[in-house]
């Protein structure tokens, strides 16, 4: 059983009429995040590459487009506060990537960056998006880098959030440990408590308001992580694709304007690795956001918004 609302047909669902939207507005008020009135915000489904994808659409299609790609074990809703703030100036497409959120799981269990990049390429073409800024956090940032390599003809700029070719092995190990130990719960409050210990930057109230996007309730009553954890690649070729990671030497091919946003306390991306990446990019800029770790936009949303809007406006 799903705990959140989303469109379960081919018709958009107006999310501004939902209790979830009221909850989001409460979080925005708590954090001092300003936003426009009469926001356009809907839940939609689309078929891409023979698979159903769910996405959230914010703002008017006539405005500049942002394509938002969440991190692993997250969903399109991880961008809600950022999207709410920007929706009066931008057209925002926040995608639930395959095997995550309210999108369909991959039938062939292909969760490689190459497959996810191809999904975004199909999305951009299906929605007739001529130019956009792709903003990717963690896994979504890895997929954004792969988009730049595999689809260089797309008219895109990029914002990479706390991700680069060189990552801390200890930080990655910490994330894997948290994911592995937090797949199943008897009580929602247990999950909230676990997240609080892992992510001290966010308030318990904010975590409680967003828990519905991370879990679903199984038939036996247990709450389980809303992600395909049975991610077994179907062939040797898919294993090759999954290991086909963006390398530092690939940075020279990423010629479009690129902003790298790093959390000052990140355990994934060191300051040195961030500088090396930006120096290798032909058109790269680095912004560091204080009072945040790996999940920059969720831990210091105001600081993230400032860094992002400075880039978007220039």
Q: What is the DSSP letter of 212?
A: G
Angle between the N-to-C axes of helices 139-150 and 113-126, in degrees from 0 to 180, rounded to the nearest 10? 70
- Interval 177-230: pLDDT, tens: 888 888 889 999 999 999 988 899 999 899 999 999 999 999 999 999 898 877
DSSP lists the bridge partners of residue 14 as 42
Percent of the chain at pLDDT > 90 equals 85
Burial degree of 104 (CB within 10 A; 0-12, 13-18, 19+) = middle
Q: Quick one: pLDDT at residue 234?
A: 45
Percent of the chain at pLDDT > 70 equals 96
CA proximity to 76, closest of 268, 210, 199 = 210
Burial readout 17-47 (b: 16 or more C-beta within 10 A, e: otherwise): ebebbebbeebbeeeebebeeebbbbbbbbe
Burial degree of 224 (CB within 10 A; 0-12, 13-18, 19+) = middle
What does the domain layout of the chain look like in residue ranges? 13-171+235-313
Query: Is residue 61 very low, low, confident or very high in pLDDT (cuts 50, 70, 90)?
Result: very high
Could you tell me the pTM of the whole model?
Answer: 0.95
CA proximity to 144, closest of 177, 179, 118, 106 = 118
Residue with tokens 């040797």: 236
Token pair for 15: 């999310």
- Interval 10-49: pLDDT, tens: 999 999 999 999 999 999 999 999 999 999 999 999 999 9
Contact by Cβ (8 Å): 83, 89: no
Question: Per-residue pLDDT for 284 more than 90?
Answer: yes
Torsion sign over Cα 303, 305, 311, 314: negative
Question: Per-residue pLDDT for 235 more than 60?
Answer: no
Query: Is residue 238 very low, low, confident or very high in pLDDT (cuts 50, 70, 90)?
Result: very low
Q: For the chain, what is the mean pLDDT?
A: 93
Section 263-282 average pLDDT = 97
Query: Is residue 243 very low, low, confident or very high in pLDDT (cuts 50, 70, 90)?
Result: low
Question: Per-residue pLDDT for 276 more than 50?
Answer: yes
The CA distance from 254 to 102, in Å, is 31
Q: If residue 117 lies in a helix (H) or strand (E), which one and from where to where?
A: helix 113-126
Q: Which of the four CATH numbers 2.60.40.10, 3.40.50.300, 3.40.50.1820, 3.40.640.10 does domain 13-171+235-313 have?
A: 3.40.50.1820
Q: Quick one: pLDDT at residue 180?
A: 85
- Interval 286-303: pLDDT, tens: 999 999 999 999 999 999
Question: Per-residue pLDDT for 233 more than 70?
Answer: no
Q: If residue 65 lies in a helix (H) or strand (E), which one and from where to where?
A: strand 65-69
Q: Quick one: pLDDT at residue 231?
A: 56
- Interval 155-166: pLDDT, tens: 999 999 999 999
The CA distance from 163 to 286, in Å, is 12
Measured from the Cβ of residue 140, the count of other Cβ atoms closer than 10 Å reads 29
């Amino acid at each position: 059983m799903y705990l959140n609302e989303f469109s379960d047909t081919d018709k958009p669902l107006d999310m501004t009429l939902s209790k979830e939207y009221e909850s989001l507005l409460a979080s925005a008020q708590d954090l001092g995040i300003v936003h426009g009135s009469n926001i356009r915000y809907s839940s939609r489904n689309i078929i891409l590459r023979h698979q159903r994808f769910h996405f959230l659409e914010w703002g008017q299609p006539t405005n500049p487009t942002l394509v938002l790609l969440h991190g692993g074990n997250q969903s399109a809703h991880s961008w809600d506060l950022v999207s709410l703030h920007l929706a009066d100036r931008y057209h925002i497409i926040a995608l639930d990537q395959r095997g995550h959120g309210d999108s369909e799981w991959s039938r062939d269990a292909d969760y490689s960056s190459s497959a996810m990049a191809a999904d975004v390429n199909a999305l951009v073409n299906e929605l007739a998006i001529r130019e956009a800024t792709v903003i990717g956090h963690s896994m979504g940032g890895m997929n954004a880098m792969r988009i730049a390599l595999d689809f260089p003809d797309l008219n895109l700029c990029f914002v990479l959030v706390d991700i680069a070719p060189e990552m801390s092995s200890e930080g990655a190990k910490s994330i894997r440990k948290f994911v592995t130990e937090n797949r199943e719960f008897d009580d929602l409050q247990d999950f909230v408590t676990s997240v609080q210990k892992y992510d001290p930057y966010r308030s318990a109230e904010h975590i409680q308001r967003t828990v519905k996007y991370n879990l679903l309730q199984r038939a036996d009553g247990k709450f389980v992580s809303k992600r395909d954890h049975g991610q077994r690649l179907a062939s040797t070729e898919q294993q090759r694709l999954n290991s086909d990671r963006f390398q530092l030497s690939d940075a020279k091919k990423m010629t479009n304007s690129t902003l790298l946003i790093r959390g000052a306390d990140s355990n994934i991306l060191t300051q040195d690795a961030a500088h090396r990446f930006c120096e290798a990019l032909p058109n790269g800029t680095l912004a560091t956001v204080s009072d945040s770790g790996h999940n920059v936009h969720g831990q210091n949303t105001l600081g993230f918004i400032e860094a992002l809007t400075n880039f978007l406006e220039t």
